[in-house]
Structure 1
Amino acid sequence: PSNSLILHNIYLAAPSTVSSILVKTRAELHASKGDDVTLSCTFTSSNTPTSKMTVDWSYRPQTGGPPQTFFHFSSRAFPPLDGQFTSRIQWKGSPARGDASISLVNATLNDNGTFTCSVRNPPDVHGSPTSHTVLTITPKVPSIRFSDVAVLLALILLPSAVITVFLIGRMICPRKKHSKSKAYRSPIEVTEG
């Protein structure tokens, strides 16, 4: 065999240096209705992020259906202009630190579903460029705030306690009747003689 054929076969057998990217999100996330939720997404790339790096977030409702892209980042954030996430998405990412996170403001029960973070950083074309988070929003449990408890204590229990202590004090230590001096007589009192 010729030398060029041998070199060609060695080149094919040698491991190639493939650029790759790895995207990670939390598998599940739980929050209450009305909460602000951070959808974290981190990535590692063989190459430093450049202006060609892009981030896309998509959402598939819990009820099913195709995923819909609602957020895009390419040198700057492009939040949704319409749909259920309008004015409710904030970019929290920092590509230089491998962060592509967003924040969902004022979560609703309609936000239950799967959120997918996709990161592209050419020439990194292999690896795991997407990751999914299943978000579950539950109704907020009603709770008594400290201020409510303080008002109840101040308006009901405190006066009741003062009155109770006063009455117990009267029962234990009754007031002594002051006897009037016997020398004193009323001007309308009739005297004998």
Structure 2
Amino acid sequence: MSAPCTLHLAVLGLLFVSAYPMKVFTSKELEALNGTDVRLKCTFSSESPLGEDITVSWQYRHLQEEKTENVFYYHREPYPPPPGRFNSRAFWDGNLNRGDASIMLRNVQEMDNGTYLCQVKNPPDVHGQMGEIMLRVVNKAKFSEIHILMLIIGIGSAFIILLVLAIVLFRYYRNRNERSTPVSNLEW
């Protein structure tokens, strides 16, 4: 092969690799109850096989500010958060072999409201969008699907209990009336 041909193949190879950027997936919005632990879920897919140089970085951006704050970093092993608000509260909860780069944030407070950015790099697959999660910490839980399900089950159970009670009472009064009816009044 000639040198220009080899160069063209190398350029084509680079274009092919960069044509498939890292894909990062997150839930866009997340609501958590004040004082609870929350899992910031971040999954990814890479066209390149996972290598030792894969890195995961999590950053935080406050609602009113553009500057970001480091939350967590992973390169071959989880590194504890830097001193600050996330120190001893952010923990690795992912599994890179399964495409999971999630972290756990303990004891969330209202000051944790904001956007969490998840970035995964797996050289040469280093391009692509960061995943974003808008976290809202609330003092009371909203009326969620679980509450609706519990309400439906409760209403259904109450209906069944009332139905069984009505059948039992109906049979009781029918049997009572049959016993009190004199035999002479019955026609054959």
TM-score by length of 2: 0.65
- Asked if structure 2 preserves the Cα contact closer than 8 Å seen for 1:80 and 1:89, the reply is yes
- Asked if structure 2 preserves the Cα contact closer than 8 Å seen for 1:59 and 1:69, the reply is yes
Please give the root-mean-square deviation of Cα atoms over the aligned residues, in Å.
2.6
Following superposition, the deviation at residue 7 of structure 1 comes to 6.4
Closer/same/farther in 2, CA of residues 36 and 17 from structure 1, 3 Å limit: same
* Residue in structure 2 matched with residue 51 of structure 1 by the alignment: 52
- Asked if structure 2 preserves the Cα contact closer than 8 Å seen for 1:54 and 1:120, the reply is yes
Between the aligned partners of 2:42 and 2:106, the Cα distance in structure 1 is 17
Spell out, residue by residue over 1:117-144, the C-alpha distance to the aligned partner (whole angstroms, 9 max, x if none).
000100113333x111100001136xxx
Between the aligned partners of 1:79 and 1:7, the Cα distance in structure 2 is 48
* Residue in structure 2 matched with residue 83 of structure 1 by the alignment: 84
Between the aligned partners of 1:18 and 1:69, the Cα distance in structure 2 is 29
Closer/same/farther in 2, CA of residues 50 and 138 from structure 1, 3 Å limit: same
Partner of 1:116, secondary structure, is strand
Spell out, residue by residue over 1:17-71, the C-alpha distance to the aligned partner (whole angstroms, 9 max, x if none).
2253111111100111011110000000012222100000000112213011121
Following superposition, the deviation at residue 115 of structure 1 comes to 0.2
Following superposition, the deviation at residue 14 of structure 1 comes to 6.8
5+ residue gaps in structure 2? 142-188
Between the aligned partners of 1:82 and 1:42, the Cα distance in structure 2 is 26
Between the aligned partners of 2:128 and 2:133, the Cα distance in structure 1 is 18
Closer/same/farther in 2, CA of residues 78 and 12 from structure 1, 3 Å limit: closer
* Residue in structure 2 matched with residue 138 of structure 1 by the alignment: 138
Spell out, residue by residue over 1:152-179, the C-alpha distance to the aligned partner (whole angstroms, 9 max, x if none).
xxxxxxxxxxxxxxxxxxxxxxxxxxxx
* Residue in structure 1 matched with residue 24 of structure 2 by the alignment: 23
* Structure having the higher Rg: 1
5+ residue gaps in structure 1? 142-193
Closer/same/farther in 2, CA of residues 87 and 13 from structure 1, 3 Å limit: closer
* Residue in structure 1 matched with residue 96 of structure 2 by the alignment: 95
Q: Aligned residue pairs: how many?
A: 137
State how 1:108-123 maps to structure 2 within 5 Å: 108-123=109-124
* Residue in structure 2 matched with residue 61 of structure 1 by the alignment: 62
* Residue in structure 2 matched with residue 171 of structure 1 by the alignment: none
Partner of 1:82, secondary structure, is coil
* Residue in structure 2 matched with residue 36 of structure 1 by the alignment: 37
* Residue in structure 2 matched with residue 159 of structure 1 by the alignment: none
Following superposition, the deviation at residue 12 of structure 1 comes to 9.9
Partner of 2:66, secondary structure, is coil
- Asked if structure 2 preserves the Cα contact closer than 8 Å seen for 1:48 and 1:96, the reply is no
